Amino acid sequence: QLQLVESGGGLVQPGGSLRLSCAASSVTLDSYIIGWFRQAPGNDYEGVSCITDHGRFTNYGDSVKGRFTISRDSAKATVNLQIDDLKPEDTAVYYCAGNWGPTIDWCALEKRSYNFWGQGTQVTVSS
């Protein structure tokens, strides 16, 4: 059972930056595809970004391309989401999600593609 924990959320002004991290409580994330999703109040889950286990393939939602960057930190055994130029519409609870996927060369931004989910971290963008 993969248990995921997100960190790094907070309150930030428009135009600011945040770095979210996703870690596993008892195993490394090396063989897992990791995705980031967000859910704003009253909205459905939105796929933000994902990365394959080897990190060679990444995918981004249209609304975040050019502002969000996903990466793996092998030393810290985390998957990070760098968020720049934050906008009020980025306000949401951000979740990381995982699915077993060694050697898979692509990842999807669909909620149904992931079996394991963290509890989420709140990101609020407001002046």
So what's the pLDDT on residue 76?
75
So what's the pLDDT on residue 54?
84
pLDDT along the chain (127 residues), means of 10: 94 98 87 96 96 92 96 88 97 96 89 96 97
Take residue 91 and report the two structure tokens written for it: 């306000």
So what's the pLDDT on residue 27?
81
| Residue spans of beta strands (DSSP E) within the chain | 4-7, 10-12, 18-24, 32-39, 46-51, 58-60, 68-73, 78-83, 92-100, 116-117, 121-125
So what's the pLDDT on residue 93?
98
Tell me: the pLDDT tens digits for 81-103?
Answer: 999 999 999 999 999 999 998 87
